[in-house]
Amino acid sequence: MRWPRGFAGAGVACGIKGDGRLDLGLIVAEEGVSWAGAFTANGAAASCVRHCRALLGRATRAVVVNSGNANACTGQAGSRAVTVVTEEVAREIGCLPQEVLVASTGPIGVPLPTKLLVGALPRAMGSLSGEVGPFAASILTTDTGTKTAKADLGGASITGVAKGAGMLAPNMATMLAFIVTDARIPTRPLQTIFTDAVTRTFNRVVVDGCESTNDSAFLLSSCRGERVDSDRWTRGLHDVCSDLAQQMAHDGEGATKSFRVGVAGAKDEASAVALGRAVASSALWRAAVNGADPDWGRIVAALGSVDRFLDLTALTISIGDVQLLRKGQPTGLQNDAERIMQARDFDVTCEVGAGSASARVLSADMSCDYVRINAHGST
């Protein structure tokens, strides 16, 4: 996979991870480009998030990313680290520090070793190319593999790269994503369109319900390609973001299965999303998914924790095409549902009978490996 016209990327090992794995990524635009961003709502947001938020609305030339260290909750040292890194990247590229965006991912509370990053920047600059692979590998933490997606728009394209496997919860989906396009589109509505795409894709992923301090998503546009119909471009952007969101759900830490929670018949979309998230983040239901146990009572309990006036007589719950609860009455079809839950991927549908709104939320099971991975997250 290659970057769209006007962009190049690189991924090198700077030594943060200490085992030779790639941990420093760089995306460079040939000239200043428009961009949009979406960031965590967490009150303990990392220095890189605060830096990028302040630059919304300005043109950018580069994004520098490190994995293996979140540079979060590190006090003034964290802000100084962002300043040092942006100044060095700007010097290498020949732009202003305010034209450099920053993202970090890894353990919280550990000072960022800026000397390692700065020392590796010349190698990163020297290895810039049109290939997406090295950058995609450089941003990984507990991911089991790279996550990329592409939309061909005919004379232009959209390329997306993401990482995310744990601490997946809305606001955003606790992840990093970098979406790059060369489509010639109006720049004024870029933020609005991207915000909507993030809301309906990345913000609909829940793996463990734990929000991060660093999650960020970027959309960069060079306008070097052909002019693209706005509706076609918007659909392409949504498809790329949706593809990356599904890859994150499939790669949830320790996950053996992924599932989609579809809520239908809600009074409005916000209610549908809230109900879907309640089921998707339920530790009890996710554990049941791991064991292929169609314990639909855990789904009902999750729904009721959000909707205190849940009408059981209107509620229908299905696993795949098997109804386990029909208008409040158990069907006794657990054996049929269990067979469906043996699959690597399946659907849960909750029809609540309160209106006409619907939503879909992605999630993954909770396995023993999830506990093992997170029992030693900082060591």
Of residues 3, 1, 60, the one with CA closest to residue 225: 3
CB 89 within 8 A of CB 118: no
Token digits for 247?
């890859």
Of residues 191, 186, 139, the one with CA closest to residue 161: 139
Is 144 known to be catalytic? no
- Nearest-angstrom CA–CA distance, 224 and 210: 39
**Torsion from C-alpha of 139, 142, 146, 150, nearest 10 degrees:** -80
Distance of CA 268 to the CA centre of its chain: 24
Phi, then psi, of 20 in degrees rounded to 5: 85, -5
* Matching residue, tokens 């996550």: 147
- Nearest-angstrom CA–CA distance, 75 and 17: 22
Residues 6+ apart with CB under 8 A from 75: none
CB 63 within 8 A of CB 240: no
Q: Which of 174, 201, 213, 349 is catalytic?
A: 174
- Nearest-angstrom CA–CA distance, 39 and 1: 26
- Tell me the catalytic residues: 174
